[in-house]
């Protein structure tokens, strides 16, 4: 089966508040693909994602997304483009004054759904898809971070999007929970929905293979040599290993005999002698310390 072209950028410049962050972007993305956007903070990953749903406008070049021309897109057409795109943010952006079910119902009604039975069926469907079918009655604050992010993914699936954009969705989560969520997105891709994942975590690339684009030095380039990524993953793991295994060395303080005045104080207090001794040592060190000049 031939894959459908969803995104095509040719000679596109991406600006964020008049600052050029990516220049001469060339990219094509098709249906059922799992795509990584790698790069450091501020490299342009988020700005590129925002351009896909027209939050960051495109002023020149060729920019087509889901059969919409972003250069000539009219304001009243933007909502129709966005209904075809599911968005997963790092900071959840759930409405905290209503239940999970009410959060999802709000989105459906805002995008034109009216029949109550159909709305409930769709909500139950997406909650089941993300493994949260029993959590509809919960308030967001009653859920863990991982559970809240699952609800965000469910929200992104409500309108059966052709594409999901996930901007650092595991940034606030522990490693194991993050892995479960990336695996969930990977399985969603297998059902036909394209997933574009912006991340700085190379571990996901190894566990869940996909196309890789890198934002670096104001450019977007596709990484076709898997050995480069493998080398970076090994280097990253080595750094993490050194951080864990490197012993912490504490300087050994010289022992000081307890003076007679210190013994008197120990007898008059219920505090532990060690605490008294430490406090007096700190006091002595302050007496001998050379006054520092004020830095203006």
Residues 213 and 282 in one domain: no
pLDDT tens track for 230-287: 666 665 555 545 554 555 554 554 555 545 554 454 444 444 444 434 444 444 444 4
Average pLDDT of 73-97?
90
Question: pLDDT at position 49, please?
Answer: 96
In a domain, 194, yes or no: yes
pLDDT tens track for 195-240: 999 998 888 898 999 999 999 999 999 998 766 666 666 655 555 4
In a domain, 296, yes or no: no
In a domain, 294, yes or no: no
In a domain, 65, yes or no: yes
Residues 239 and 266 in one domain: no
User: 239-268 burial string, b = 16+ CB within 10 Å, else e?
Assistant: eeeeeeeeeeeeeeeeeeeeeeeeeebeee
**Confidence check: pLDDT of 20 > 70:** yes
Residues 103 and 197 in one domain: yes
Residues 268 and 125 in one domain: no
pTM of the model: 0.76
Nearest to residue 213, comparing CAs of 67, 56, 49?
49
Residues 281 and 134 in one domain: no
Residues 220 and 274 in one domain: no
Question: In 143-222, which ranges are continuous DSSP H helix?
Answer: 145-157, 175-190, 202-207
Question: pLDDT at position 46, please?
Answer: 93
Residues 265 and 127 in one domain: no
In a domain, 249, yes or no: no
The percentage of the chain sitting over the pLDDT mark of 90, rounded to a whole number, equals: 63
**Confidence check: pLDDT of 47 > 70:** yes
**Confidence check: pLDDT of 8 > 50:** yes
CATH of the domain at 207: 3.40.50.300
Q: Which domain holds residue 271?
A: 258-287
In a domain, 15, yes or no: yes
In a domain, 253, yes or no: no
Report how many domains make up the chain: 2
């Amino acid at each position: 089966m031939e894959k459908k072209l969803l995104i095509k950028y040719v000679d596109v410049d991406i600006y964020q508040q008049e600052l050029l962050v990516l220049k001469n972007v060339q990219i094509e993305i098709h249906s059922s693909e799992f795509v990584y956007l790698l790069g450091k903070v501020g490299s342009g990953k988020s700005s590129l994602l925002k351009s896909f749903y027209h939050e960051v406008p495109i002023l020149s070049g060729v920019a087509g997304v889901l059969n919409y021309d972003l250069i000539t897109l009219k304001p009243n057409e933007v909502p129709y483009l966005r209904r075809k795109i599911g968005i997963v943010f790092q900071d959840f952006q759930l409405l905290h004054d209503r239940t999970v079910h009410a959060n999802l119902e709000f989105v459906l009604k805002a995008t034109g759904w009216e029949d109550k039975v159909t709305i409930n069926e769709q909500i139950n469907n997406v909650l089941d898809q993300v493994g949260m079918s029993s959590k509809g009655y919960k308030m967001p604050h009653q859920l863990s971070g991982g559970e809240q992010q699952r609800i965000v993914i469910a929200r992104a699936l409500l309108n059966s999007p052709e594409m999901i954009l996930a901007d650092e969705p595991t940034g606030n989560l522990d490693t194991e929970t993050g892995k479960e969520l990336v695996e969930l997105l990977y399985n969603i891709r297998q059902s036909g929905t394209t997933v574009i994942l912006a991340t700085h975590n190379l571990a996901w690339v190894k566990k869940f293979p996909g196309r890789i684009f890198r934002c670096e030095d104001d450019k977007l380039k596709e990484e076709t040599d898997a050995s480069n990524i493998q080398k970076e993953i090994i280097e990253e793991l080595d750094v993490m290993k050194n951080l864990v295994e490197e012993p912490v060395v504490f300087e050994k303080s010289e022992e000081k005999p307890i003076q007679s005045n210190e013994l008197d104080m120990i007898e008059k207090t219920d505090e532990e002698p060690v605490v008294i001794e430490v406090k007096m040592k700190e006091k002595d060190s302050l007496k001998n310390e050379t006054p520092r000049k004020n830095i203006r």
